[in-house]
Amino acid sequence: MKNQLNKFGIYTVQIDDALSAWAAERLSALMVDQGVPERQQAGLLCELCAVSPSQARRKLRGAMWTFGEVLTVVRHFGCSLDQVFAGSVSHAGISTGSFTTVMLEATFLMDALTLPCQVRLGSLSIGLQGSDELLTVQNQVGWYVGTRKQLDNHPHNGEFYHVAQVLLTPTLSKPSIRIAILDDDVGTSETLGEWFTAAGYAATAFTSAGQLLAAPVDHFDAFVVDYLLAGDDSSQATIKLIRQALPDAPIVLLTGKLRDGRVSEADLTTMLRTAHATFFEKPVRPSVLAATIEKELDQLAQRRAA
């Protein structure tokens, strides 16, 4: 698998070409088992994955899938990845020697944040790696998963392997952080929601301020909000209402419109100061957003305990 930056500025994981035909075969079989005939499968993919009919047909013929798309289809039918894919490697025309079938306990490195995970080793990594490619390596403490740059910051004494599969396994010692995501672009909000959910957070995606404000705002611990919503309206009024209900909750503002002049830098600076919000310009890694939220919540807990 490999990481890529999609058009929404969010890093996604793509399944390598060698596994794409296998993924298509397994997902098609799943849909048939669930009563969706082959002639209707492309239409269902269009609805679930927000792709065009031609893209859906190509995926069913073995074109590239993102991990998020696979997960969306599997979850739609209430199944797990293991139920759909486990035990079928030998029927996929893929060498079982290219990766192990054992999941190893590991630590996932995401910038300033680390999470427990399980990793299945892929093939041995030889030569140069892409800057955003996920790799895994072992040291005296255990296995680590991350980019080559992240892994090089941790002493290691083994070979680098490609990642065939990684499962995040957040600890259950404390309740999941509840994060509301507001972006009028459905693809962006859902992709961010999927990432936070996979990382162990309780994420809810909204595509309009009305949807968010209709929910109990105080149900959430933190907010990720696109500064410029539909119609070029700023989210200032929404932020003000959030602040009235939750004066100290972390609020992270995002925008990709600062450079083209559609967002006033002066207005944005004023909001950041008055609303006590944090700002990132798209594209930004979701792990950076998560680390920022975790840090602000930790600081809030320390202030309350003092």
Give pLDDT tens digits for 133-153: 888 888 777 888 888 888 888
* Mean pLDDT, residues 112-130: 75
Domain count of the fold of the chain? 3
* Mean pLDDT, residues 79-88: 64
> Of 141 and 231, which is predicted with more confidence?
141
Pair (211, 263) in one structural domain: yes
Of 65, 91, 117, the last residue of a domain is: 91
pLDDT band at 94 (very low <50, low <70, confident <90, very high): very low
Of 72, 91, 110, the last residue of a domain is: 91
Pair (110, 44) in one structural domain: no
**What length is written for the chain?**
306
pLDDT at 180 over 80: yes
Mean pLDDT of the chain: 78
**Residue 66 belongs to some domain of the structure:** yes
Pair (233, 123) in one structural domain: no
> Of 54 and 229, which is predicted with more confidence?
54
Pair (211, 241) in one structural domain: yes
Which segment of 72-81, 134-143, 214-223, 258-267 scores lowest on mean pLDDT? 258-267
Range of the domain at 79: 2-91
Pair (300, 221) in one structural domain: yes
**Residue 213 belongs to some domain of the structure:** yes
b/e per residue, 118-138, with b = 16+ CB within 10 A? Answer: bbbbbeebeeebeeebbbbbb
> Across the strands, what pairs with 204?
180
pLDDT at 97 over 60: no
pLDDT at 257: 66
**Residue 173 belongs to some domain of the structure:** no
Pair (133, 207) in one structural domain: no
How far is the CA of 250 from the CAs of 29, 102, 217, in angstroms? 43, 39, 13
Pair (184, 301) in one structural domain: yes
Q: Give how far the C-alpha of residue 296 lies from the chain's centroid of Cα atoms, to the nearest Å.
A: 20
Which segment of 51-60, 120-129, 178-187 scores lowest on mean pLDDT? 120-129
